[in-house]
Amino acid sequence: MKGAIRDSSIKREILKKLRCRKVVSGDEIAREVKTSRVAVWKHINELKTLGYSIISTPKGYILISEPRKPYPWELDFESYYFKEIESTMDIARELAEKGAKNVFVIAEKQTRGRGRVGSEWSSPEGGLYFSLILKPELSLADVNRIVYPFLEALKEGLEDYGLPVEVAPNGNIFVNGKKIAGILVEVEGELDQVKYVIIGVGVNVNNPTPVNGTSMKEELKKEVDLLEFTRSLFTKIYKHLSAEAIF
């Protein structure tokens, strides 16, 4: 997929070593991750372009700061990350048709993010926008069994930050009367058997919000660690879907 940032075991190992030690030489990393020094250099440069501040010294590499974004190697779930796409739902559908399941598609920014009933979901940088592909053994009439676990996970995830959450009957989520998150469900299948379900989620985290909307940053009066929130939310989604024997 064009533009997709995929998981990388080498990047996981490089970051693990850089976080554990003050300085790590390229030779040491190459030896321990069983790759070449040139490959290490390439991965380091890719990490730099993605916002990781890594400097080179005569003794090796030093990690100065991190972007705290939900790149695939930062998560414990299979995922694809895009800097900018029209909609995570479209990519998720392409993957679902190719057989993918239990995969998250995450966008840093969407240019045509979709909401319910044909509405548009404003998706500037700073928010969390993702779709999850599921292939449950359900009939179309039972698809709501998937929606409720998502709503519970979102509610808990926001309440962990002390936010007073209200869930509307249509699945939109409000804080202090302003929309902060929403869910979109798209289903492919027959009456008696679902082929796949794609759940799209948008959460206003640190992004600018439209009129009548709010964000976690706006409500808390401080920047929220997007990676920390994503990890927590995905774990809660997994927990609630597993309880329903769906994930």
The 10s digit of each residue's pLDDT in 123-172 is 899 999 999 999 998 888 888 888 999 999 999 999 999 999 999 988 89
- Domain segments of the chain: what residues? 9-65, 72-243
Cβ–Cβ < 8 Å for 185, 92: no
Predicted local confidence at residue 118, as pLDDT: 62
d(CA 68, CA 35): 26
Predicted local confidence at residue 243, as pLDDT: 87
Indicate the range of 1-5, 82-86, 103-107 predicted with least confidence.
1-5
Tell me the two tokens of residue 147: 């929606």
As assigned by CATH, the class of the 72-243 domain is alpha beta
The 10s digit of each residue's pLDDT in 186-239 is 999 877 889 999 999 999 999 999 888 999 999 999 999 999 999 999 999 999
Q: Which of 24, 20, 18 is nearest to 57 (CA)?
A: 24
1 has a pLDDT exceeding 90:
no
Write down the CATH number for the domain with range 9-65: 1.10.10.10
Average pLDDT, integer, range 70-75: 98
Query: CA angle, 81 as apex, 89 and 47 as ends, to 5°?
Result: 170
The 10s digit of each residue's pLDDT in 8-25 is 999 999 999 999 988 999
Express as a percent the part of the chain with pLDDT over 90: 80
Predicted local confidence at residue 121, as pLDDT: 75
Note whether 9-65 and 72-243 share their fold. no
Q: Which of 88, 236, 240 is nearest to 161 (CA)?
A: 236
